[in-house]
Amino acid sequence: MRDFWFRIGAPVAAIALFALLLWGVFSVTAALLFTLLALLIVMARHVRQLSRLERWLHDARLETIPEAGGIWDDVFSHLYKMVKQHQQTRQELAAELQHIEQATAALPEGVAILNESNRIEWCNPLAQQHFDLDAEHDFMQDITYLVRQPEFIGYLHASNFSEPLVMRPARHDDMVLSIKLIPYGANKRLLISRDITQLERIEAMRRDFVANVSHELRTPLTVVSGFVENLQDMRDINNDDARRALHLMAEQTRRMDNLVADLLTLSRLENDQNPPREELVDMHALLNEIYQEGLLLDGNKHVLRLDVLSGLKLRGNREELRSAFGNLLGNAIRYTPEGGEISLCWAERDGQSVFSVRDSGIGIAPQHIPRLTERFYRVDRSRSRETGGTGLGLAIVKHIAIRHHAKLEISSEQGKGSVFSLVFQATGD
Ligand code: ADP
C-alpha cells in the first residue's frame, strides 16, 4: 500500500518541486503553465492505460494482458495473478465435474435431477436410455411431457415415495423399470431408474411354475380323493387298521386339496396384472353371509358377533373381498380357544372404511407380526396344520388388499388376542 502511494505521489511531488523552481527562477505563470502541462501528460497516460484495461476486460485472457509501466504495471500484474488463479480453479472444478460425470455414467442405474417443476436439469446416459431422452434437446424440459404414462405422472405427483414404481417404458415395452424418486435440497428430486427386466422374468417364471405345478396336481388329487371316499363308503371293509388308514388318507388328501386350492388362488392373484373387476359391494349383505358361514364353521365353539357400524358400500371385487374377509374370520376361529369371543366389524375411521376381525385368542408375539403375510410363515407349524391351515391365508389376504389399494393392519398381544383390519382408502356410496 505504501508503495502504491509512493508511486502515485512521487510524480506529483516532482512536478510540484519543479514548478516551485520555475516560480523562483522565472515567474508564477511559467510555473502554472508547467504544472498544467505536466498534469495533462500524467492524466493522458492514465486514460490510455484505462482504455487498454477496458478493452482487455472485454476478453480477459492471460495471453493478451497489456504491459505497462508505473502503477499500471502493478494493476496488470495483480489482474494477471487473479485471472491465472481463476483459470486454475475453473480447470480443477471442470476436472472434478468430469470425474463425477464419469462416476455417474458408470452407475448401473439411471440418474436424473429434476427441479421443483419436474424439469430435467441433468441426467446420466442410462437415464437417457431408459426414458428415451436426448441430453441436449431435452435439457430443462418437463419430464411429464416426455414420459407420459399415467402411472409415472401419478407417482411423480404423489407425496410418498417409499415404494418404487414398476413400469414399462413406452418405447421399450420389453423392458421393466423400477423407479424411485428421492427428494433432496430445496425442492430438487433425484429420479433413479433400475432395469429389472431380468428379475421380473425370473419372478414370472417362478409364478408360472407354481401355477403349473398346482394345476397339474389338481387332477390326480381329485382322482385319489374320489377313490378314498369310495373306499370309505364300502361297508365290507371291516379291518380297523384299514379304516384308520383310509381316514388318515382322506384327511391328508383334504389338506393337499386345500393347499392346491390356496396355491391356485394366490397364483391367480399374482398373475392377474389387471385391476380387479369392480362393483359396488353391499357390505351389509356380504358381511351377513360371511357371519353365517362363520357360525357354521365355528359350530358354537366361540361367541361370534357382527357389528355393522357403517352404511358405506365398498367399490371392489365381491369374490376377492369375500375370500379375504373369510380368511381372516377363519383364522380367528382357528387361533381362539373354545369359549373365546370373536367380533366382525365394519366401520368408518378418519374418512376410511375399516373391516376388522377381533379375537380373544392366543395372540402373536411382536417379532412374528411383520412376517405373517409371507407364504408359509407360521408362528406354530403344528397348530396351523392341526387346524387345517395351509400357511397361505394371510398371503392371499395381503394380495387382495394390494389389489384394492387397502392396507392390512395387525395388532396383537400374546395370550390376549388379535385384531386384523383391512383399511380401505376409497369408499363407494
Ligand atoms: P395358516 O394357514 O397357518 O393359518 P395364515 O397365512 O392364515 O396361515 O396365517 C399365518 C400365521 O399367522 C398362522 O400360522 C398363525 O401363526 C398366525 N395367525 C394368523 N391369524 C391369527 C390369529 N387370529 N391369531 C393368532 N395367530 C394368527
Ligand 1 centroid to 327 CA: how many Å?
Answer: 10
DSSP 107: S
Q: Is the CB of 390 under 6 A from ligand 1?
A: yes
Rg (CA), the chain: 42
DSSP 276: P
Ligand 1 centroid to 376 CA: how many Å?
Answer: 10
Whole-model pTM: value is: 0.70
- pLDDT at residue number 76: 86
Nearest atom in ligand 1 to 336's CA: 24
Mutate which of 384, 400, 412, 421 for ligand 1? The one with the most ligand atoms within 8 Å of its CB, which is 384
Ligand 1 centroid to 331 CA: how many Å?
Answer: 6
- pLDDT at residue number 338: 95
Ligand 1 centroid to 393 CA: how many Å?
Answer: 8
Triad 82, 88, 91: Cα angle to 5°: 140
Are 197 and 174 in contact, with CB atoms under 8 Å apart? yes
> Distance between CA atoms of 315 and 403, rounded to whole angstroms?
12
Question: What long-range pairs does 7-10 form, CB within 8 A, spacing at least 24?
Answer: 7/70, 7/71, 7/74, 8/71
Triad 174, 180, 185: Cα angle to 5°: 145
**302's grid cell:** 366361540
Q: Enumerate residue ranges in the chain where pLDDT < 70.
A: 1-2, 426-429
Complete DSSP assignment for 214-272: HHHHHHHHHHHHHHHHHHHH-TT---HHHHHHHHHHHHHHHHHHHHHHHHHHHHHHHH-
> Distance between CA atoms of 271 and 403, rounded to whole angstroms?
12
- pLDDT at residue number 295: 96
Q: Is the CB of 331 under 6 A from ligand 1?
A: yes
Mutate which of 394, 399, 411 for ligand 1? The one with the most ligand atoms within 8 Å of its CB, which is 394
Are 349 and 423 in contact, with CB atoms under 8 Å apart? yes
Q: Of how many residues is the chain composed?
A: 429
Triad 233, 239, 241: Cα angle to 5°: 100
Residue-wise burial string across 22-31, b where 16 or more C-beta atoms lie within 10 A, e elsewhere: bbeeeeeeeb
Are 420 and 408 in contact, with CB atoms under 8 Å apart? yes
> Distance between CA atoms of 237 and 144, rounded to whole angstroms?
74
Q: Is the CB of 333 under 6 A from ligand 1?
A: no
Mutate which of 371, 376, 378, 396 for ligand 1? The one with the most ligand atoms within 8 Å of its CB, which is 378
Hey, CA dihedral for 16, 17, 18, 20, is it positive or negative? positive
DSSP 183: E
Helix intervals (H) in 349-405? 381-386, 393-403
Q: Is the CB of 152 under 6 A from ligand 1?
A: no
The C-alpha cell 384327511 sits at 251
Question: What long-range pairs does 67-75 form, CB within 8 A, spacing at least 24?
Answer: 70/7, 70/45, 71/4, 71/7, 71/8, 72/46, 74/3, 74/4, 74/7, 75/49
Q: Is the CB of 364 under 6 A from ligand 1?
A: yes
Ligand 1 centroid to 373 CA: how many Å?
Answer: 9
> Distance between CA atoms of 18 and 304, rounded to whole angstroms?
120
Helix 318-334 / helix 393-403 crossing angle, nearest 10 deg: 150
Ligand 1 centroid to 404 CA: how many Å?
Answer: 22
DSSP 400: H
